[in-house]
Homo-oligomer: A and B are copies of this chain.
């Protein structure tokens, strides 16, 4: 009976990306733990960049300074 909460910054995550997150994370959890997917719920919470802090600074300010969270 897993429940998963995914917090990401609200930066244009598309409906299709959300679908892939839900599908992919459910697959990992039900495969690793051998759980019934019908007992697995996932909620994605999108957080404004003003509301997410990293290393003591607002992400919105870090973005203005050119710092991204993109994969290198």
Contacts and interface: CB of A to CB of B under 8 A. Distances in A.
Interface of A: 1-9, 13, 15, 17-47, 50-61, 69-72
A1 B7 CA distance: 8
Given A26-B56, A51-B44, A56-B37, A32 B5 contact: no
B32 A21 contact: yes
A18 B58 contact: yes
A36 B72 CA distance: 7
A32 to B, nearest CB: 5
Nearest to A68: B36
A31 B70 CA distance: 10
Contacts of A60: 15
